[in-house]
């Protein structure tokens, strides 16, 4: 069945208008401090009562924005499958909408959340397949590309926020386990004393392993650290270790690949330099490489989901946990992880020399609050508010005079 806007509306009606009802509410943005304080109390009933409503709100906001996508994308089998997953998850959570808390209900809720996490494990890859299907059958014009870029940033950021809440509940009250969260000091998936340097070193070692495996060589890493407030103390922040690892692994993997390819004729590869500074407000990380850089006009493209500097995604260099590497998803998704708690990530490149990647994270847990897209009446206008033609002059082709 080909998914059209009419079909999508029909699917919405099967949920009895509940999607429309919950989409009227804005998601409740929590700070890292909120999550820490709640996790220390570890009240399962309070978590159940909050999540059974909040998750419906977040899912409904996402589903309303999916309906705004161009039909050329909505009609692909992969995009339709993604929407069906969200519909099923919304329906699964509706059964807990008005029930009273009890240990048995809580167990059922936890089981349902686990199923939802598993169902959505490949959302990023499946939506990427939908984009490739659309590109192959319809092509993508600049206006559509800009709309899709706007949507995917919001879509994946919402996905991060939903998984954050679910994982926090499952680790605190369920049977979920993860190598990042096995320390007794962790509060759910949050580490109150996240070892920034340790995560960077782990990310480098794994990126180096991939580089060695594919190129049979790899650059070293020089690490420089400064704790401006407490010079004698290690650099730690309240953060989600898996999020920081995702960001660092992607950036270091890109840096190692760029250096190895650009310096392939050299006997010795120059090191990748990493600087980490913790100030009053920001934790700042800079990764500098001598990988040749890219032209200034292409820097913005590096965060485009439909752009990649790699010719083909290679299973030899990209491990299963990062299957979108080489398809243009690594950098934009990493930037979303940084922005999720009011941080940021950007690149500065010098063509012919190399690139610097900057990551900024909030040093204070109370300032690290969620950034969550919300569906409003303006959303449709924002999706369609794309200039059809440039209002700036263009260069005159060579030889015109």
Which positions are annotated as active-site residues?
246, 250, 253-254
Tell me how far apart the terminal alpha carbons of the chain are, to the nearest angstrom: 55
Round to whole Å and give the CA distance between 154 and 328: 17
- What are the backbone angles phi and psi of residue 234, rounded to the nearest 5°? -65, 160
Tell which residue, 267, 270, 265, 263, has the closest CA to residue 219.
270
CB-hemisphere CA count at 13 Å for 53?
Answer: 11
DSSP 180: G
- Return the SS3 of 348: strand
For the chain, how many residues are written?
401
CA torsion, ordered 182, 187, 192, 197, to nearest 10 deg: 30
48, 109 contact by CB (below 8 A): yes
- Return the SS3 of 175: coil
Tell which residue, 303, 293, 284, has the closest CA to residue 358.
284
Kindly provide the residue ranges of all beta strands, DSSP E only, lying in 351-389, ordered along the sequence.
Answer: 353-362
352, 325 contact by CB (below 8 A): no
């Amino acid at each position: 069945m080909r998914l059209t806007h009419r079909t999508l509306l029909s699917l919405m009606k099967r949920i009895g208008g509940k999607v429309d009802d919950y989409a009227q509410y804005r998601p409740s943005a929590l700070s890292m401090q909120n999550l820490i304080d709640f996790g220390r109390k570890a009240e399962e009933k309070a978590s159940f009562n909050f999540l059974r409503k909040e998750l419906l709100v977040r899912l409904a906001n996402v589903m309303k924005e999916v309906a705004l996508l161009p039909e050329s994308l909505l009609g692909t089998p992969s995009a339709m499958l993604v929407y069906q997953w969200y519909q099923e998850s919304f329906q699964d959570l509706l059964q807990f909408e008005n029930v009273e808390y009890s240990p048995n209900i809580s167990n059922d809720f936890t089981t349902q959340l686990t199923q939802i996490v598993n169902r959505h494990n490949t959302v990023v890859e499946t939506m990427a397949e939908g984009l490739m299907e659309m590109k192959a059958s319809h092509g993508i014009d600049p206006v559509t590309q800009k709309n899709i870029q706007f949507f995917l940033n919001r879509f994946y950021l919402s996905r991060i926020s939903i998984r954050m809440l679910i994982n926090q509940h499952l680790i605190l009250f369920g049977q979920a386990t993860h190598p990042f969260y096995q320390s007794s000091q962790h509060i759910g998936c949050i580490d109150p004393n996240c070892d920034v340097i340790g995560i960077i070193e782990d990310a480098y070692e794994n990126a180096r392993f991939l580089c060695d495996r594919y190129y049979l060589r790899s650059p070293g890493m020089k690490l420089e650290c400064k704790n401006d407030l407490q010079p004698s103390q290690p650099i730690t922040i309240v953060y989600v270790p898996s999020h920081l690892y995702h960001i660092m692994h992607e950036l270091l993997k890109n840096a190692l690949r760029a250096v190895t390819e650009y310096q392939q004729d050299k006997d010795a590869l120059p090191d990748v330099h990493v600087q980490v500074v913790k100030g009053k407000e920001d934790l700042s990380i800079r990764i500098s490489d001598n990988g040749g850089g890219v032209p200034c006009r292409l820097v913005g493209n590096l965060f485009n989901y439909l752009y990649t500097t790699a010719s083909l995604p290679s299973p030899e260099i990209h491990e299963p946990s990062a299957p979108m590497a080489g398809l243009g998803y690594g950098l934009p998704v990493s930037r979303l992880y940084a922005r999720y708690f009011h941080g940021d990530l950007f690149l500065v490149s010098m063509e012919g020399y190399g690139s610097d990647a900057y990551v900024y994270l909030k040093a204070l847990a109370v300032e690290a609050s969620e950034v969550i897209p919300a569906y409003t009446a303006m959303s449709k206008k924002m999706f369609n508010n794309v200039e059809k033609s440039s209002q700036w002059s263009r260069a005159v082709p060579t030889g015109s005079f």
